[in-house]
Structure 1
């Protein structure tokens, strides 16, 4: 009898900070559908060794705007959640709203009290994380980024996000005017680092490291309190854990989960509202059609959560699975 393949479940609490405009919902669903689908599609592109466990994603959505609901404190403490991910939103992360304040406070408390829980932010999520860590979020005087933009990667950005030496740009769909103008202050002795920039928005991807190379996931440790040891994982490729395993936080100013149709529909809605007109509209529609690295960045998010592409013993190349 064939041995049953082991399973690895990665649990993500998705904090839903908005509902996209009706034309987007009509073609792609709301964020409770867009984000889990993006994560699953990213997972489907990851090549794994046959001896590595089959990965399942468990994504539970929390309405942090109207219901102001969050993962249970006891569940967090028991290591039931490996990561908290914050979606995009048409709201501004600097606003003094009850739900915004509660969200920022929850993220800060999670970092302080449940440090093994990874934090992942997309667009608004990137901005509210910056606010939670005492950083700034402002309306950008240089204006909008709409459609796919090429972001210049730092050397660290290339390494961590899986780009080759000769690749200098990260292509990502963008829908924002607010941005994070500078790095948040240090947290728990660790410094924030920026991985990519554009001329309009210099901080395109934030990371915050752990003090050790690859602490366990909360579900592996069955606790969310920090443990000062690196992961002992017999299921990790023999070339060692991916460098992203040392990330406590990863955020993107852009939208790796957005595709051309979503962005085009958002541009149309903003045009009807009188927000995106003239040359900005024309340029944005051209940008929206450009290719982007969404699934590649989805793989980076999953590598942070211990789901990494199979490598040869030397770590040079992927192993193609049948």
Structure 2
């Protein structure tokens, strides 16, 4: 039975990075990018109990820059952990604190957890899975994600295409977590546990403009060589299923 909320669904977005200039100008922070994604998903769902303007309440927590400020679990229904340019496996104080907070949310509360890219890896790490550099290297721009039977049920489609921007991965599915999707470059693409967590390695919140800015910047700074740059730029304007994933996130929050 779906959860019938007497009030707005309270989603705390844990921002783990700052967007590049053009994206920041439009959305302010990655919290703004996700707010836009989830409100769009709510409109697409068209559910009376999830009006996009009145039934979604967002708060934003810049945990990279303000690592001592986290939402009180009693005041929220869900957390969403964003992507980041940082390494999810780094032994860095703010990242370690984020892992500990996520582990506590998962083990001690009923707060739902959504993780995206870096956030997906943080959830994996919080559940004691190994996280690190992917031996297969980068996965970037729009790529196919093959879904398991349960994945097809959760997303309502046979396959999803998502923007990707990572060279790190969760190496295996943690105990008690369902495998929903994989790709040739990354086995652990989607993790799921009913009423507990839903995470994706890809970026449903990215569009062509956001991805183009990232690829151009990483090419200009030497992270991507000319060959990689040309390969990824060919895929930035391909159709992608960010809206489908946003709807799945919302349906998960209402399970």
TM-score by length of 1: 0.74
CA RMSD of aligned residues (A): 1.7
Match of 1:145 among 135, 139, 150: 139
Q: Is it true that 1:93 corresponds to 2:75 in the alignment?
A: no
Cα separation, 1, equivalents of 2:50 and 2:134: 45
Match of 1:133 among 114, 127, 131: 127
Alpha carbons 2:14, 2:31 under 8 Å: kept: no
Partner of 1:302: 250
Alpha carbons 2:188, 2:201 under 8 Å: kept: yes
- 1:24 deviates by 2.7
Match of 2:152 among 138, 153, 158: 158
* Higher helix proportion: 2
Partner of 2:197: 249
Partner of 1:284: 232
Partner of 2:101: 106
Alignment of 1:1-322 (within 5 A): 8-48=7-47, 52=49, 54=51, 56-68=55-67, 69-72=69-72, 76-77=73-74, 80-114=75-109, 116-163=110-157, 167=158, 169-184=159-174, 186=175, 191-208=176-193, 246-306=194-254
Helix, strand or coil for the counterpart of 2:203? coil
Give per-residue Cα distances to partners, 1:229-270, cap 9 Å, x unaligned: xxxxxxxxxxxxxxxxx3310000000010011001000000
Give per-residue Cα distances to partners, 1:162-216, cap 9 Å, x unaligned: 11xxx3x2101111111111112x2xxxx112111111101100012xxxxxxxx
- The 1:160–1:53 alpha-carbon spacing in structure 2 relative to 1, beyond 3 Å, is closer
Cα separation, 1, equivalents of 2:133 and 2:12: 28
- 1:23 deviates by 3.4
Helix, strand or coil for the counterpart of 1:182? coil
- 1:48 deviates by 2.6
- 1:30 deviates by 2.1
Alpha carbons 2:45, 2:247 under 8 Å: kept: yes
Cα separation, 1, equivalents of 2:91 and 2:6: 43
Cα separation, 1, equivalents of 2:145 and 2:21: 29
Cα separation, 2, equivalents of 1:57 and 1:27: 20
For the pair shown, the structure with the greater C-alpha radius of gyration is 1
TM-score by length of 2: 0.92
Cα separation, 2, equivalents of 1:39 and 1:87: 13
Helix, strand or coil for the counterpart of 1:37? helix
- 1:7 deviates by 6.7
* Unpaired segments ≥5 residues, structure 1: 1-5, 209-245, 308-322
Cα separation, 2, equivalents of 1:302 and 1:64: 23
Cα separation, 2, equivalents of 1:161 and 1:275: 33
Cα separation, 2, equivalents of 1:152 and 1:278: 28
Cα separation, 1, equivalents of 2:211 and 2:25: 13
Q: How many residues were matched structurally? A: 248
Cα separation, 1, equivalents of 2:245 and 2:50: 22
- The 1:275–1:155 alpha-carbon spacing in structure 2 relative to 1, beyond 3 Å, is same
